[in-house]
Amino acid sequence: MTGISKSQVSRLCGEIDDKVQAFLGRPIEGDWPYLWIDATYVKVRQNGRIVSVAVIVAVGVNSDGRREVLGMDIGPSEAETFWTAFLRKLARRGLRGVKLVVSDAHEGIKATVAKVLNASWQRCRVHFMRNALAHAGKSGRRVVSAFIATAFAQDDAEAASTQWRKVADQLRPKLPKLACFLDEAETDVLAYMTFPPQHRTKLHSTNPIERLNGEIKRRTEVVGIFPNEDAIVRLIGAILLEQNDEWAVQRARYMTLETIAPLSDDPTVSLQAIAS
């Protein structure tokens, strides 16, 4: 673009920054039974060097069945201290009523979810399967994938757990490392099975925010290297604000009021669902 002065650019950036900061710092009201968290890495200049930083995004569904972007943060890594600070920031803004947090198996996040939100943690099933199949060898991946899928096909948590153990025992003689991997992951990968059947397809993985992450990656790859962290917040924050506005005008709820309202800690929400 030509004919735009530095002062005009600064003014436009300032207006965007104000809107983004207001959006990312807004109060979080009501109960939010489900929370999805995922991270994307971008490159930025810091002290004359180019480094990679993690951009964490959190998306939640409230007891009204509506989906919103709840926050984002930037940090040098995905260590437990970073996750703890991020979730505490959301809690200070009012995040409450969380029953399940869905994410990949990032270091320290399981302990942080239990400590800060007192919620269950769901390990992304898609990422888990990739890790599991790495233990199976090329020739055995299709069979192993079909075996594990039989546990996901069960109707309730107890049946899924029983089938999971059967699969692990069947694999143990020939693939002991994979069987051990299944033993350790069972609780985390099957956590979603204790929630309403109508929600499970959206709870077992981070897929509900993959499209959002894809848009973030598409837009940040054009930039390549950000000049500073403020520029990261400006661009990604604007993308998140745009997506949140798009969700807000959608007529259909992400989850039906009748199925999600009973998960709220506020009894009046359940009464409203019954009345509707």
Q: What is the mean pLDDT of residues 244-265?
A: 92
Write down the pTM of the prediction. 0.90
pLDDT value at residue 138: 81
Examine the pLDDT at 2 and tell me if it is beyond 70.
no
- Cα–Cα distance list, 151 to 70, 144, 147, 148, 199 (Å): 32, 12, 8, 6, 17
Instruction: Give the start-to-end residue ranges of the domains of the chain.
Output: 17-118+206-264+267-275, 125-204
Q: What pLDDT digit, counting tens, does each position of 219-243 carry?
A: 999 999 999 999 999 999 999 999 9
Angle between helices 229-248 and 6-24 (to 10 degrees): 60
As a whole number, mean pLDDT of residues 165-191 equals 95
Summarize the confidence of residues 180-186 as an average pLDDT: 95
State yes or no: pLDDT of 272 exceeds 60.
Answer: no
What is the predicted pLDDT for the residue at 30? Answer: 94
Residue 6 pLDDT class (50, 70, 90 cuts)? low
Task: Please determine, for residue 275, whether its predicted confidence score (pLDDT) is greater than 50.
Answer: no
Q: What is the pLDDT, as a whole number, of residue 78?
A: 67
Mean pLDDT, range 32-36, rounded to an integer: 97
Alpha-carbon gap, residue 70 to 59, rounded angstroms: 5
